Structure 1
Amino acid sequence: MKKINLKKGLIKVLLISLITLLLVNSILTFLNGNIIVENNVLRERTELVKKSTSEIITDILHGADLGVRGYALTKNEKLIEPLTIVMHYKDSVFNKLKRQLEAEQYDTSDLEELRSSVNEYLALSNDMITMVRQDSVDKVIKILNEDRGYALWQKYKAFYEPLLTHEDTLNNEAQERYLTAVTNTRIIVIVLMLIGIPTLIYIMVRLSKDEKQLSRLLLKLDDQNRQYIFDSGTPLDVNDIDHVVENSIQNFQKANGFITNISAGNYSVEWEMLNDVNHSLNERNLAGNLIRMRDHLNQSKIDNERREWSASGLAELLALMQNQRNIKELGNIVVKYMVQYTKSNQACLFIEPVENDNTGKLELVSCYAWDKTRYINMTIGKHEGLVGQCWFEEEPILLAEVPQDYIQIASGLGNALPRCLYLAPIKSNDVIYGVLELASFNRFEQFEIDFINKACENIAACLFAVRITQKTDLLLSQYTDQIESLKSEIIALKERSEVL
């Protein structure tokens, strides 16, 4: 975990450094662009300043000299035109130059002095034109020989040279700023390349490793999910992280829903997508264990219900048989209750007669839902049919395939052959009192058979008690008859003795 955190921290530091360098490079590129623009603007402005300054000599002074000298030699009025033009735009030249210098915050006092000198020289030029018109050529030549233009040139030079130095200084400073910005940008680019390229390579390698690690993790997650939770048997694309994670979440949701249903007592719940095809794949995982737990709980519930059913049935049967003193009535109660409680269709009860013990015959004392005329005065001996065999062997008989000529169940729909037949000996303390026979359209399950056998033991105990009661009543009746007979004989003897 610590190693992973260190790698993540290193990647973050490298990315932050790379982003910082890109940001600095962008800022410097922007500033450098501004410097270039400013430098170009400054160059254009200095060139305009130089040009405007040159116009004082090239246009104004030279124009004035050209007009004066040409007119003085030829007296041609057209040759005065250069001077006339100069007089019209001289102020615009000086005003433009003043604005340019003020924009650079340059002192314009020398410019104003130069303007005054130029205006004086132009005024002199106009005077010389007037002199020529007045035929005072000698005066004009004298003035020209004085070369007053040279003095003006000296003033111009005194103004121009410092200005030129100033403009060159501005250009040099701008150039230095530009070169400094370019150098800084190059340094940043070099550092960016030195850090950025290894960083990108490292990140690409790291991402490739992380992708492979993620693929292995997703594959392991899918394998663990199938091994320990649920395996649908359908392969997944382990490169699709959403699909793998969603499948794991769905399996947890299935497990949670399954457990919730079981905890609520719903043992019929099924695990979604579990079928015969993938059943063998889920025998040892959570899905298989939950299915077995569900089946175990369901079986426990069924067993408890069957035990409760059996205990309740035996208690009800005992309550019905209590205080019964007649075997016929007891038999009717028994067969009716056993048919209804076990949901059978027919039943009959064969009992060894009380007054004929050890006769080797069983007597049909009660039946339910059978054709009663068939069993009037019906008796069965040992080894006779299934009843006689059950009586002789003292063991129950379960017949799942009833012979066609055995019995048929009568109903409103007609006569039908039962699917299952069960005969149980009525026995208690190794003494057999008869046989109970049940017929049903449904096969008797083991818990029903256990109930019937237990019920037969209780029936045997009640039969024993009823038989004892009947024998006691019979002996008491015989004893009473004997007493009454003795009383009659004593009275008769007493009467004869009185007569004698």
Structure 2
Amino acid sequence: MFSQVRFNLRTKIILGYVIVIIGLSISILLINERVITMKKDREYITNHDLQVHNLSNEIEKNILDMEDGKRGYLITGNARYLAPYNSGYAIWKENYVNLYQLIADNPDQQKNLDSIKGNIEKWIIEAAEPVLALKRENNPEGIIEFFKTDPGKPYMDQMRAQFQQFRNTELALTENRSLALIRDNEILLHILNLVWFLISAVTIVIALITSKSIVGTIQAVTSSIRSIVTSQGDLTMRVKVNSKDEIGDLALVTNELLMNLEEQNWVKSHITEMATTFQGVTDLRLLTQSFINKVAGLVEAQYGVVYLRKLSDKNDYLIKYASFAGPAEEVGVQKFRMGEGLVGQCATENRIIIVNHVPNDYIKVTSGLGQTSPKQIIVAPIMFENSVLAVMELATLNNFTPLQQQILSQIVEPFGTTLHNAQRRTEIENLYNESQTMAEELQVQTEELQTQAEEMQTQTEELRSTNESLEEQNLFVEQKSHEVERAKEELEQYAEQLKQSSQYKSEFLANMSHELRTPLNSLLILSQFLVENSNGTLTSDEQEYARIINSSGNDLLALINDILDLSKVEAGKLDIEIGAVNLTELPQVMERIFTPLAEQKNLQFRIIQHPDLPYLIFSDEQRLQQILKNLLSNAFKFTESGIVTLSIRKADPLEANIALPHAGTGDVIAFSISDTGIGIPANKRRLIFEAFQQADGKTERKYGGTGLGLSISREFSSLLGGSITLESEEGKGSTFTLFIPCLQSSTSTELVSTYSESSATIVSSFELAEPSFTHSATLDAMNIEAAQSEQKRLNELPSSRNIFQGKQVLVVDDDVRNIYALTKALENQGMQVIAAHNGRKCLDVLKLHTDVDIILMDIMMPEMDGYQTMRHIRQSAAYNELPIVALTAKAMKYDREKCLDAGASDYISKPIDLEQLFSVMRVWLSKS
């Protein structure tokens, strides 16, 4: 019967404590009674015995005071000496009465006290009062006679003896009482020890009984869990416990936890398996078919189909791509519009739809033995970054369990990423194949054109040699003329195809730039936050890791820029912006950039400026600095010890005529970069100016790099009308000299154009178009002064923190990484950030937030790009003056003009330089 009773831990513990409390209560009652008795005895000794001693001493003191007062009066005759006598005489009886009452329980002591009282009274009557009367009567002879007999001394001696005996008796009584109290204390101590022993024994027995009940059961649970752990994570094991208390409840909860963990482990393992299975598959039909087969088997579905989303300019369809155990191809719906049917509605609402109680005339699940209708249908969207890429529909003869629904909801997200990657890879491969095919066709057509040109040249020679027989061969010449005309038309067609191929290449580079710069943007911004470590939460190693990430990102950005610059130069689409270059500030810029590198490598860095240099020249300062940076970077890279020197001087006429034969009589500036590095062999000096080339394989492996720096420097120097020469000795060092024409007039543009067309350093497979200049080169003293005035005005603007504090900025970008990075950077400046993931959401946000102060607009976005969004914003008169800064990862020609034409206030390319962004925002916010 008791085996069925639930005797829980609380009851066991409370019962043990109740027994202990009962024992303690009984002991406390016994001890309390004893303590009360001892307290009474102690109080009696304290209040009675001490008071008896005090009163006896007080009475004796009163008599002595009377004796002293009497003698003082007798000797001096001064009545004030009688004060102690009168005081003692007034209070000794009162003290006597009090003492007599205290010793009422001791008749013997009362008799002793009565004897003392008689002697006191006799001393007053016979020895004190008579002599005082004689003194008052001024009878010295009588006083002398009185003291001859002195009847008071025997009384006084007897009283002292009596008081001493009285007190000794009281001391003996007090000592007896103290000894009794000590005995009582010892008895109480023994009682306490006995009680402690009994309670301890009872407590230990109860603890052993209770702990055995608890620990035994816990050990059983622990043993079961340990066996699960030692069996290499076998989650199918269960805890077996027969206890009917909280430990039994623990076992049940543990079993439930193991069951839940087993289910979650099953879900995660299949999600991981699905994610790894489809990696690298680029065929969309194979990918979707494999996916639906795998999912259907996983959730025990008897029918399944995948609809892939196809977007075009006018249509947005969901097209059937793969099916599992489906009917024949002509049966069922092959495509849906967005919002059409459950499939289209699922894609529109971006949510899972479950249909229960499927009617019998719905789709049939067919096998070799027959067919039947499904019981439940589930339609799930497959997404990537909140954009639906496909829709999956599954049907089952049973109901999908919650676990199966859970794995379905979790498995579509990683597959959306896989599907997106496959689509992008397919698009890139298609573009690459088309580009390769067109390039091959263009190469074949070019070879045919060259062959035809050679034939035409041969025919021309033949025509010249047979000039005398022209009339006889007129018909032949006319036929050849028609052939030449056809060849010319074909050549024009080939030229048009070449132009179109160049356009494809430019678009490909622009798209690749966007794809590469977009992740770089957030990488560089967030890694810079980690390097700054403003919260002080990172260790020095973690800050070093962040610096390495930031440096690697900048290196990758520099490589992207180099490739784009080189492609623009080869295509003749790189703009040159002519402006004033201050030759006194240029060395300071180089020194500021390369001095830390020199100190790091333990090298000397020396800059030499010759005194005859002009203050200003006209050139493209950005391209000029980039050439010098590339040459100095190479010098430091290949120099392990010694010195790197930058020398700026005027080239002598002979040297200038050799380097720039078309410079005429104008001055030429020579920038020489010398090093004491490894040097370059003579047979490698032309090779190093080719793209992606270095001196040899060993150099590339040891020093790294892409080999683009010198190639880009050569092309830039050509566009600036200059050239680069090289002097080197292997093992001793190299000297690269950049020659730039010294332009100092409004004819700078024409001169640079002339020089660049005639420069001998240009080697390209394309014919370079004449550079277009976006800025005028006519900067006279007035323009320079105006520029300095504008710079001074910008310097006087409020700091970023003051002007940004509390301002609202709307960040429009489809990449959540960029939004996160920019949000952190802008919030650090005190701004309030509102985010929108595309153009349409941007317009919706502006309707809700009419007090936005500035907009940061990404260009490449789905649904509505940045150009369309800015045009819609500018259509509203309320937003005509709202500053809009365009942000784009494309870096192709005319992007800035397109942004400004679409309504942008300013333009910044990605990856974003935060200081540049803050500077631009500061200018526009101060204007607004």
TM range (shorter): 0.3 to 0.5
Higher helix share: 1
| TM-score normalised by the chain length of structure 1 | 0.43
Structure number with bigger Rg: 1
